[in-house]
Amino acid sequence: MRVIIAAAGTAGHINPGIAIANKIKKEQNNSKIIFLGTTRGLENDLVNRAGYELKAVEAYGLSKKINLDSIKKNIKTLQGFKQARKIIQDFKPDIVIGTGGYICGSAITQAHRLKIPTLLHESNAFPGKAVKMLAGITDTVLVSFKDTIPRIKNAKNVVYTGTPVKNKKIEYTQAQRQDILKQEKLNLDMPIVLVFGGSQGARKINEAMIGIINNKLNMSYQVIWATGPKQYDIVKEELYKIGKDIANIDNMKILPYIYNMEEIMNISDLIVARSGAMTITEIANLGKASILIPLPNVSHDHQLYNARVLEKVNATKIILDKELSYENLNEAIINILQGNKITEMGINAQKIATKDVEDLIYREIIKLVNRRK
């Protein structure tokens, strides 16, 4: 099978694409798969690390504003449609799949014009603009939440599958867990709190963590904290201002990005994060207690609705971004780590886990490819 996967921008778009690619390769090892992305996003790192070829295409959100910058971006985006068409014609895919980012516009549109089967995956409870615009020409739209189905009104075919993720539940032995902790230079006897703000980081979460450090509040728990690559130097400077060395803080390991996230999520006791669809899915699959801080000012508050999926089953504590402080974050961490609460929340999280996601997605891919033959 020959497949093009369009995914760009954040890990929330790219990692589901990689998970789909890995499933295809598992089922059909001789498959040829390439990714379409931009030159700006995390795809330039994550796709290559996953072992796939990335071809760059110009893609920006089309803006109605009239200024020099928006005009330049609109022109580049239109050029990107031609670039995408040429790549598709040269590669001759059996199917083109979009998992998120502006790149999906040119990839899906040009594949449709060339009469190549198309598939889109929407991870969030509320569909994004790209999915709404492209649903009418896309052969199949896959969604992560059942509530999303009636929100895509013009789609030819909508199928509930859940979100494909790279990070799976691993049952480590006590010895294996201890080996990982030693490698990460973590205390064997203290609970582990994993903190991250998505692939780009989250300023408000980072500020709250600096407050926890400055007031020495994490004496009863240890933290693995991913600041986001673009914010690492900012955090380093802010810690320096309060007399702290980012590489030498008690009970704290601070990184720009966590590449072995599957390992770290599995050994962690509590997860503090934004509430992207992929994060929600992984928390549920791994059965982890969580504190979620939904990203504000996004379309339809989709991260808040994502978080409420876990809140409904008493598996998470939601703190709104505008209400987040180091005091209430630390209070929530301490409260969950006490007694049986952390175990109960983890068990509750597993209630919403979707099984066999990759199998369901692969089945829909095969349907479209076989239909063309």
Read out DSSP for 253-283?
Answer: EEES--TTHHHHHHH-SEEEE---HHHHHHH
- Residue, of 71 and 7, whose pLDDT is higher: 7
Cβ contacts of 78 within 8 Å, gap of 6 or more: none
Cβ contacts of 309 within 8 Å, gap of 6 or more: 125, 145, 280, 352
Average pLDDT, the chain: 91
pTM above 0.85, yes or no: no
pLDDT at 153 over 90: no
- Listed range (45-49, 75-79, 240-244) with the worst mean pLDDT: 75-79
Tokens (6 digits) for 157: 């075919």
Mean predicted confidence (pLDDT) in 128-153? 88
pLDDT at 200 over 80: no
pLDDT at 300 over 80: no
Tally of CA atoms within 13 A in the half-sphere of 29 that contains its CB: 0
- 174-352 CATH fold: Rossmann fold (3.40.50)
Q: What percent of the chain has pLDDT over 70?
A: 95
Q: What's the pLDDT score for residue 244? A: 96
Q: Supply the CATH classification number for the domain 2-163+355-372.
A: 3.40.50.2000
Domain edges within the chain: 2-163+355-372, 174-352
pLDDT tens-digit map of 49-82: 999 999 999 877 666 667 776 667 766 777 878 9
- Residue, of 62 and 158, whose pLDDT is higher: 158
